[in-house]
Structure 1
Amino acid sequence: MINSSRFKLGLAIPTLNEAGNIGTLLDGLHDAMSSMPIDYEFIVVDDDSKDGTAEIARQYASRDSRVRVFTRQGKRGLAGAVMYGWGQTDANLLGVIDADLQHPPEVLPRLVEPVMNGNDLAIASRYVATENNGLDNWNWLRALISRFGTLATAPLQKKHMRIRDPLSGFFVMRRECIEGLELQPEG
C-alpha cells in the first residue's frame, strides 16, 4: 500500500494567450485528480498574455487555493516558465502540461501513479491509442517535425528505456531527479 500522504504534486502550466483553454484545462485537471489520494497544486505561469489568460486563472485561484498563478512580465519561453513554476512549489512530484488542450487532463493520474510506485518519470505519449497513432488532428508538417524530433533523441536514450514521445510536454517526475542539477532553460 502506498503512503499517499508523503506525496504532493506540483503541476506547472505554462501559458501564453490561452484564455480559451485555461478554464477547461483546470476543470479537467481537478476532475482527474479528485480520485487521487494526494495533495496537489496547479501552478499557472503566464508569460504576460494579452488575452486575459492570467485573469481567468486567478478567478479559479480565488475559489481554490490549489491553483496558483504567476505572471512573468517581459519574459518568454516554455522551459523558463516551467522552471519558474517548479521553483514556486515544495512538491516532491513535479509535472508539466501544455495549456492548449493538446493533452487530455484525465491522463494525469496515470502519470502520477507510476511515480508514486517508485518510477522516476512518467511521460504521456501523443502516439498511442488513436486511429492515426495520436496524430489525428495534426497537419503533416507538425507530425513530421514531431517524428523527426523523436527519432533524433533515440540515440540519447538508454537501451532499456521506452520513451515513445520524449518531446511530449506532459510528464510527471520525482523532484529528486533534478535536485542538485544546474538547469539552464532556453526557450
Structure 2
Amino acid sequence: MISIVVPVFNEEENMEAFYQAICSVMEKLPHSFELIFVDDGSKDATPMVIDRLSQKDSRVRGLILARNFGHQIALSCGLDHAKGDAVITMDGDLQHPPELLPQLIEQWQNGYEVVQTIRLTTEGVSWVKKLTSSCFYRLMNAVSKVRVREGGSDFRLLDRKVVQTFRRFPERARFIRGMMGAIGYRQTTLDFVAPPRYAGVSKFSPTKMLHFALDGITAYSKLPLRIAFYAGLVFGVVSFALALHVVYIKFLTDEAVPGWATIAASISLLSGVQLMGLGIIGEYVGRIFEEVKQRPLYWLRQEIGLGGKGDSKES
C-alpha cells in the first residue's frame, strides 16, 4: 500500500481538485493507497472538506491538529500515522504534480529507499524569490556538513524503513530536507517544473521563510557560533592594540589626543559585534530551551476516517 501525506492550511479551494487528481493517477496503478490530509490549524472550511471526502471515500483520512504547528510538524504528524509500505509527502496546492507519482513509485520498486524531487523552477514565481531561495541553499551547503540539493522540496517518497528511522528523530526545530540528507539509505532524485497554484495564495510568508531558513542553518551547523567567536577574537586583538596606542600617546608623548571620534566608532563597532554574538548564541540557547521542555511535538483535535473517533492524541 502507498500512503500519501498532504499537510494543508486554509486550502479549501484546492482540496476537491487535488483529491480528484490523486485518484485519477493512483487508480491506474496496481497499488492500494490511502490519502492522509493533515490540517495544520486551518481557519477556513478545510476540515469540513476533509470530513466530506472521507465519508465519500474510505481511503481518505484526516488528522486535524489542535492548532497551527507549522508545515514541517504537520508532515511529521502524517508520517507518524501513515501505514503504507511507502509514504509519499506532497503539498495540496497542485504545485507538486500528481503525474509524477508513478515515477516515484517506479524508482522505489527499482530499489531506492528515498526518492527526492528537485524543483527546477516554479512557473510565475518572481525573480526575488528565486534569488533568495538560491542564496539560502548555497549558504546552507556552505555552513553545514549535510548537503541539501538546491531546489529540493518536500515532495518525496520514503520507504517504510526510512519512515521508521525518521520517527526516531526527536528534535522540534525541524528541517526535514536536511534530515533526509543526513538519514542515508539509497537515494535518487527526479526533476520537475512546478506549475502555479491551482487556487488561493501561498501561506508561506516571508517571516515563515526566514524562520525556516534559521531552523535549517542552526539545526545542522555550529559555524555561526564559531564566526561569532572568531569575530570576537579578532576585534579583541584590535582593541588591545588600540589600548596600547592610547597608553603610548598618553605617557610617552606630549601630543594632545582628541580621539573622541575614533573611540566612539570603536565602541559602536565592538558593541555591534557583541550584540551579534549574543544574538547568535541566543538562537541556539532558545532551541535548547524548546528541546529540554520535552513537550509533545503536536497533538490532534480530531482524527477523521478509518475508525477515527475524534479523540485528542499526542506525539
TM-score range, shorter chain: 0.7 to 0.9
Percent identity of the aligned residues? 26
Deviation at 1:64, TM superposition (A): 1.0
2:164 matches 1:179? yes
* 1:72-111 alignment runs, 5 A limit: 72-111=65-104
User: Could you report, residue by residue, the CA deviation over 1:44-99 in whole angstroms, capped at 9, with x for unpaired residues?
Assistant: 00012111012112211111111101110124211111111122122121121111
Deviation at 1:14, TM superposition (A): 0.4
> Which residue number corresponds to residue 147 of structure 2?
157
Match for residue 144 of structure 1?
A: 131
150 and 9 in structure 1: CA distance in 2 versus 1, 3 angstrom threshold: farther
Change (3 A) 1:148 1:80: same
Deviation at 1:178, TM superposition (A): 3.9
Q: Distance in 2 between matches of 1:152 and 1:119?
A: 28
In structure 2, what is the equivalent of residue 70 of structure 1? 63
2:122 alignment partner, SS class: coil
TM-score using structure 2 length: 0.50
| Structure 1 vs Structure 2 CA RMSD | 2.0
Residues 134, 150 of structure 2: 8 Å contact kept = no
Q: Quick check: which has more Rg, 1 or 2?
A: 2
Maintained 8 Å contact 1:45/1:84: yes
What is residue 20 of structure 1 aligned with on the other side? Answer: 13
Higher mean C-alpha displacement, 37-46 vs 71-80: 71-80
Q: How far apart, CA to CA, are the structure 1 residues paired with 2:170 and 2:160? A: 13
Matches of 1:22 and 1:56, distance apart in 2? 7
Shift of residue 153, structure 1, vs aligned partner: 5.0
Unaligned runs of 5+ in 2: 175-315
CA distance in 1, matches of 2:161, 2:17: 31
Question: Which residue of 2 is the match for residue 45 of structure 1?
Answer: 38
Change (3 A) 1:174 1:139: same
Q: Which has the higher helix share?
A: 2
Partner AA of 2:8 in structure 1: T
**Deviation per residue, 1:3-54 (Å, 9 max, x gap):** xxxxx21111001100111111111111111111112111000012111012
- Measured in 1, the distance between the counterparts of 2:44 and 2:129 equals 25
* Amino acid in structure 1 at the alignment position of 2:151: D
Question: Who is 1:113 aligned against?
Answer: 106
Deviation, structure 1 residue 141: 2.2
In structure 1, how many angstroms separate the alpha carbons of the residues matched to 2:161 and 2:117?
20
